[in-house]
Amino acid sequence: MNTARDLAIVALDRAPDHPVEQGDLSLALAAGEVFDLLDAQALVLDGDLISPSAQAPTGDRLLDEAAASLVRQQPYESVEDWLWRRGRGLAAAYVQDLERAGLAGRPRGPRFSLRAPRTAPLDSADKRRAEERWASGDPVLTALATAAGIHEESADDAEGLTDETVTTVLAAVGDAVMELEAVRQRRGIEDAAYDNVWRGY
């Protein structure tokens, strides 16, 4: 199961109706990779610390890259530290990877358009799998989509999320997204104050 790739496909598919911040999506994708590497037995969680296991190829380029970048000496990295480090630019990396694999592209349209066509998932087994997982209400995928801003949280979403490892990762991505939003708000206030200073001259 490739949670990160499924999330990237869902995000691209829903982008016209649910535009997301690239930073939020990157953090959620990094969390998705934690789940994928747990499934691949490439890591285990010791509390909120990521403890690497024996590295074995997953068959996925980005996941293998993620596994290779795990901190392999103590003190091990916390989940939230991993999200910040691994998440930098990860949304763009997943879009490029989907395009490279022929799983996403720009739909053909009229020869001339004032609006450039956006990248969207192309029909494929991967897209159908992601759509089925999304339609089934998979709790982990839904929670990551909520963190990324793709999905509105509901009371039913928390059902099925009782595993301590899962809740640890989801709590970390939730905290990271809130911290990123606080940074954006601070920058917005600082930029507004700067503009007001210049208007005074």
Domain assignment of residue 153, yes or no: yes
> Which residue range(s) make up the domain with 147?
3-105+117-199
User: What percent of the chain stands above pLDDT 90?
Assistant: 63
- Give exposure, 78-115, as e/b (b: 16+ Cβ within 10 Å): bbbbbbbebbeebbebbbebbeeeebbeeeeeeeeeee
Q: Quick check: is 110 in a domain?
A: no
88 located within any domain: yes
* In a domain? residue 60: yes
* Per-residue pLDDT, 186: 82
Residue 100 lies in a domain: yes
Structural domain tally of the chain?
A: 1
Mean pLDDT rounded to a whole number for the chain: 86
What residue type is 175 in one-letter code?
D
Average pLDDT over residues 141-152: 91
Please tell me which residue, 191 or 136, carries the higher pLDDT value: 136
Quickly list H helices, 15-103.
Answer: 22-39, 61-68, 79-87, 90-100
Q: Mean per-residue pLDDT for 89-105?
A: 93
Considering the domain boundaries, does residue 111 fall inside one? no
Note whether residue 17 is domain-resident: yes
Whether the predicted pLDDT of 161 surpasses 80: no
CA gap 33, 37 in Å, rounded: 6
Question: In this structure, is residue 112 part of a structural domain?
Answer: no
Cβ proximity of 126 and 9 under 8 Å: yes
pLDDT band at 112; cut points 50, 70, 90: very low
The pLDDT assigned to 119 comes to 84
